[in-house]
Chains A and B, each alone.
Chain A
C-alpha cells in the first residue's frame, strides 16, 4: 500500500522519499515519472522517479515543497505512513544509446531525475559529463551520488560557495568553448534553466533534450492538460514526452501554461496555512 519507507530532508524544502511500489520499481526506466495522490481527494501530481530498486520494491522521489500538495506531502507525511495512490512508471523512457560524449545537466531539483539517466547512459558506454548546479552550497544534495554515476562531474553554485561560480550554462559554455566534443546534451531543471540551455546550444547544432514537467491530471494521455507545442504540433508531455527536443519546444507557450492555476494554488496554500494557524491558536 504505497508505504513511505524513508524520508530525509536534503536541503531547505527539498525532500527525498522512498515509497514501496514494487510494480513501479520493477518496470521503471530512466526518464519516467509517477503520479502521487496524498489522500483520497488530493490532486494527482507528477514527480520524476529519481531512483528505483526492483529488489526492495522501492522507488525514490525528490521534491520541492512548492505547491499545495508537495507542502502537504513534505509536512504531514512521515516514514511508515501510506499514500493514497501512486501510479507509474509513466511517460516514454529517455532515449539511451551509445552517443559518445553526453553532457547531462541538472539544475536545482533537476539533479535528482538525471541520476538514473546518467547511470543508464554510462552503462550504454557513453562518456557522461555531468553538470549540476545549485543556488548555494547549503542547498546541495546528491552531488556525490551523481559523481558516482558519471565519468566527470562539474558542480556550480550561483554564489560560488562551492565549485565554480555561476550557472550550469556557464559551465557548459566553458566546456564547449574549450573545444570539448559533445554529441548530445540532456538538461533537466527549472523551465528557465532548460530554456537557457536550449538557447545556448541551438547555434551549436548539438542535439539537446529536456524533460518537461507541465501540469497534468491523469498522466496517461487522457486529459491533454499537459499539452505543449513541439515543432508546431501539439504534443502530450505525459505520453509523447516528457523528453523533447529542446530546440522544438514553444517555450513561451509552455511558460504561460505553467501559470494556469497560479491564483487557485495561492488561495489554496493561504487557506491551508490559515487553518493551521487557527489550530495552533486553539492549542495555545
Chain B
C-alpha cells in the first residue's frame, strides 16, 4: 500500500520529526450541509474532514502515555496511535490500526456517541474545556480514506492460515459483521446469513442515509468480504434454512439476529392507516428507499403533520425523515422531559435546527381516525414527573383531565424494539429472558445450547452499534477458543 500524501504540505509531522501538539487550538468543526439544503435531501448532514482538516485536528492530540480515551472506548481502540498515524500522513495505516479493535470504523466514526465516551474522557478537556480531540471524526476520516483507496490490499494484511473450522453467523448487523470479520482474520471459514436482501442489518434498515450513507455501509461489508467471509442474503434461518441444519453443518454458530420486533403501546386506534411502527417507517425509507419518489417501488405516506412517539435515537431519525418527506409540522411526543431524552445530543440539536417540535411530558392515549380508517389525530395526556423508577429516571405520572387532541396525518411509534422470536422458537433448549432476549454467559457469549453463541441486540435488547460491535468481537475470541477445544468445561449461562 503506497500512499502519496505530502505531509509537509498538510502541516503534519514529517518523517524523523517530533510532534509538537497544538492542543490549545480550538476543536476543528466539521462542515455540515446548511439546514435549508439538507431538509430537502437525504445526503449526509455532516460532511467529514478532508486530509488537511484531519491532519490539523490530529495535531491537537497530545498522544498521551496514559490515554483515558482508550479506557472509555467500549472496544479500547488505541486512539493516540491512530491519531498519531494521521498526523504523520499514514491514513490507511491509521485505519488498519483501528481495525485491530473495531471492524466498522467508518460506521462507528459516524454513529458512536463519542461525546459520552472517548471524547468525554479526553485529557484536552482539562486545559481547553469543551474542546476534546474530535476522535470520532478522525476515525471516520481514516476509515473512509482507506475504504475509498485500498480495501483489498488492506484486507490481505490480516489473513492467517486456514484453520479448517467452519462457523455460521446469523445476521449481518454490527454484531454479526464484527464477529465474522474477526473469525475470518483468525483463519476460520465463515458463512454469514442475512434475512433481508442487503447485508448490514440495522445499519441498512434503521439508520437513515443522512446519518450513515448506505454506500459506506456496503464498503465496510466489502472489506469484511475481502477478509474471506461469505455473505448470503435472503436466508431466514429458522425458515429458509432449518436451525438444526445449520447446527449440524458448522463447528460453531453465532446468533446476531438483532432486536427487530417493534414495540407498540396497545392503545385504541393503533391499527389505523398512517400509524406506523418505527421499524416499518424506517425500513420503507432507508432499506427500500421510498424517499426516491420515482425509481423506488415501495410507497410511503407523505405527511402534512407528523407525530413521533418516543425520544430515543430512532425517534429523532424518524422526525428528521418526516421533515424531509415534506411535513409542515413534525413533533416528538415524549412522556418525560428534555433532560431524560435518551437520544444523542447532536441528533437532538440537528432535529431542532431542522424544525422538529418537542411536545414534552405528554403521552398518547388513543388515535382518532377518519371515515376511511386513516389517522386524523391523537389524543394525548399531560404527565408529571414522580419518583425515580428502576432506570433511575423520574417516573412519568398522568395528570387526570389533562387530555387534549393533536391533529396529525402520520404517527410513528418509536418506543423501542425487542428481539425477534424466530430463532429462539426454532431452537429447542435455547434459554431466553422475557421470551425473546437470548441468555448467554457474559464472558463466553455461549448460550444454553452447545456450540451456539449469541451477541448484540439479541442478548441485550435494543442498544448501540458500538456495544454490538464489541459483543461480536468478544464472542469471536471465545468461539475461536471453543472450536479449538470444544471438550473443555464451558460454562453455560446461569
Nearest-CB distance from A36 to chain B (Å)? 10
Q: Chain A contacts of B279 at CB under 8 A?
A: 222-224
Looking at A87-95, A112-120, A140-148, A192-200, the stretch in contact with chain B turns out to be A87-95
Q: Chain A contacts of B271 at CB under 8 A?
A: 227-229, 234, 253, 257
Q: Chain A contacts of B274 at CB under 8 A?
A: 260
Interface size range on B against A = 35 or more
Q: A24-B240, A87-B240 are in contact. Are A43 and B298 (CB under 8 A)?
A: yes
**Using an 8 Å CB-CB cutoff, how does the interface string of A92-124 with B read, 1 for contact, 0 for none?**
000000000000000000000000000000000
B262 lies within 8 A of chain A by Cβ = yes
A37 lies within 8 A of chain B by Cβ = yes
A220 lies within 8 A of chain B by Cβ = yes
Q: Chain A contacts of B240 at CB under 8 A?
A: 23-24, 27, 87-89
Q: A23-B235, A27-B239, A27-B242 are in contact. Are A223 and B277 (CB under 8 A)?
A: yes
B234 lies within 8 A of chain A by Cβ = yes
Q: Chain A contacts of B196 at CB under 8 A?
A: 87, 218, 220
Q: By the criterion CB–CB under 8 Å, are B195 and A220 in contact?
A: yes
Q: By the criterion CB–CB under 8 Å, are A239 and B299 in contact?
A: no
Q: By the criterion CB–CB under 8 Å, are A221 and B422 in contact?
A: yes
Nearest-CB distance from A48 to chain B (Å)? 15
Q: By the criterion CB–CB under 8 Å, are A43 and B288 in contact?
A: yes
Nearest-CB distance from B91 to chain A (Å)? 32
- A257 nearest in chain B by CB position: B273
Q: By the criterion CB–CB under 8 Å, are A41 and B297 in contact?
A: yes
Nearest-CB distance from B294 to chain A (Å)? 8
* Residue from A44, A224, A228, A256 in contact with B280 in the complex, judged by beta carbons closer than 8 Å: A224
Q: By the criterion CB–CB under 8 Å, are A217 and B241 in contact?
A: no
**Using an 8 Å CB-CB cutoff, how does the interface string of A193-236 with B read, 1 for contact, 0 for none?**
00000000000000000000000011011111101110000100
- A227 nearest in chain B by CB position: B271
Nearest-CB distance from B470 to chain A (Å)? 24
Q: Which of B239, B288, B301, B422 has the most chain A CB within a 10 Å cutoff?
A: B239
Within 8 A of A (CB), among B264-313: 264, 266, 270-274, 276-277, 279-280, 283-284, 288-289, 292, 294-301
Q: Which of B197, B301, B421 has the most chain A CB within a 10 Å cutoff?
A: B197
Q: How far is B28's CA from A24's CA once the two chains are assembled, in angstroms?
A: 53
* Residue from A42, A90, A234, A253 in contact with B236 in the complex, judged by beta carbons closer than 8 Å: A90
Q: By the criterion CB–CB under 8 Å, are B264 and A224 in contact?
A: yes
A85 lies within 8 A of chain B by Cβ = yes
A129 lies within 8 A of chain B by Cβ = no
Q: By the criterion CB–CB under 8 Å, are B284 and A217 in contact?
A: yes
**Using an 8 Å CB-CB cutoff, how does the interface string of A13-46 with B read, 1 for contact, 0 for none?**
0000000000110010000000001110111100
Q: By the criterion CB–CB under 8 Å, are A220 and B266 in contact?
A: no
A77 lies within 8 A of chain B by Cβ = no
* Residue from B234, B294, B299 in contact with A261 in the complex, judged by beta carbons closer than 8 Å: B299
B372 lies within 8 A of chain A by Cβ = yes
Q: By the criterion CB–CB under 8 Å, are A221 and B261 in contact?
A: yes
* Residue from B262, B273, B292, B300 in contact with A222 in the complex, judged by beta carbons closer than 8 Å: B262
Q: Chain B contacts of A174 at CB under 8 A?
A: none
Q: How far is B387's CA from A21's CA once the two chains are assembled, in angstroms?
A: 57
Q: A41-B292, A85-B234, A89-B240 are in contact. Are A225 and B280 (CB under 8 A)?
A: yes
**Using an 8 Å CB-CB cutoff, how does the interface string of A241-284 with B read, 1 for contact, 0 for none?**
00000000000010011011100110010010000000000000
Nearest-CB distance from A4 to chain B (Å)? 16
Q: Chain B contacts of A221 at CB under 8 A?
A: 260-261, 420-422
Q: Chain A contacts of B241 at CB under 8 A?
A: 23, 27
Nearest-CB distance from B413 to chain A (Å)? 9
Q: By the criterion CB–CB under 8 Å, are A256 and B297 in contact?
A: no
Q: By the criterion CB–CB under 8 Å, are B239 and A90 in contact?
A: yes
* Residue from A88, A217, A271 in contact with B283 in the complex, judged by beta carbons closer than 8 Å: A217
Within 8 A of A (CB), among B353-403: 372-374
Q: By the criterion CB–CB under 8 Å, are A264 and B299 in contact?
A: yes
Interface size range on A against B = 35 or more
Nearest-CB distance from A195 to chain B (Å)? 16
Q: A27-B239, A86-B234 are in contact. Are A222 and B297 (CB under 8 A)?
A: no
B406 lies within 8 A of chain A by Cβ = no
Q: Chain A contacts of B297 at CB under 8 A?
A: 38-39, 41-43, 68-69, 268
Q: Chain B contacts of A44 at CB under 8 A?
A: 197, 288, 298
Nearest-CB distance from B135 to chain A (Å)? 33
- B242 nearest in chain A by CB position: A27
Q: By the criterion CB–CB under 8 Å, are A37 and B242 in contact?
A: no
Nearest-CB distance from A189 to chain B (Å)? 22
Q: How far is B284's CA from A267's CA once the two chains are assembled, in angstroms?
A: 18
Q: Chain B contacts of A225 at CB under 8 A?
A: 276-277, 280
Q: A87-B197, A257-B373 are in contact. Are A220 and B280 (CB under 8 A)?
A: no
Q: By the criterion CB–CB under 8 Å, are B270 and A218 in contact?
A: no
Q: By the criterion CB–CB under 8 Å, are B242 and A223 in contact?
A: no
Q: How far is B420's CA from A69's CA once the two chains are assembled, in angstroms?
A: 28
Q: A84-B197, A217-B288, A221-B260 are in contact. Are A234 and B266 (CB under 8 A)?
A: yes
Within 8 A of A (CB), among B416-468: 420-422
Q: By the criterion CB–CB under 8 Å, are B239 and A222 in contact?
A: no
Q: By the criterion CB–CB under 8 Å, are A222 and B261 in contact?
A: yes
Q: How far is B473's CA from A281's CA once the two chains are assembled, in angstroms?
A: 58
Q: Chain A contacts of B233 at CB under 8 A?
A: 85
Q: How far is B458's CA from A227's CA once the two chains are assembled, in angstroms?
A: 23
Nearest-CB distance from A117 to chain B (Å)? 18
Q: A41-B292, A256-B373 are in contact. Are A217 and B298 (CB under 8 A)?
A: yes
Q: A217-B298, A220-B420, A225-B276 are in contact. Are A234 and B270 (CB under 8 A)?
A: yes
Q: Chain B contacts of A224 at CB under 8 A?
A: 262, 264, 277, 279-280
* Residue from B195, B288, B301, B374 in contact with A87 in the complex, judged by beta carbons closer than 8 Å: B195
Q: How far is B239's CA from A89's CA once the two chains are assembled, in angstroms?
A: 6
Q: Chain B contacts of A228 at CB under 8 A?
A: 271
Nearest-CB distance from B474 to chain A (Å)? 26
Q: How far is B292's CA from A37's CA once the two chains are assembled, in angstroms?
A: 17
Q: How far is B261's CA from A223's CA once the two chains are assembled, in angstroms?
A: 7
B residues adjacent to A (C-beta < 8 A) = 195-197, 205, 233-236, 239-242, 260-262, 264, 266, 270-274, 276-277, 279-280, 283-284, 288-289, 292, 294-301, 372-374, 420-422
- Pick 17 A–B contacts, CB within 8 A, sort by A: A41-B289, A41-B296, A43-B296, A43-B297, A44-B298, A87-B240, A88-B240, A90-B239, A217-B283, A217-B298, A220-B422, A221-B420, A222-B283, A223-B277, A223-B283, A227-B271, A256-B272
A residues adjacent to B (C-beta < 8 A) = 23-24, 27, 37-39, 41-44, 68-69, 84-90, 217-218, 220-225, 227-229, 234, 239, 253, 256-257, 259-261, 264-265, 268, 271
In addition to A27-B241, A257-B373, A268-B297, 4 A-B residue pairs with Cβ atoms within 8 Å of each other are A44-B197, A88-B240, A228-B271, A260-B374
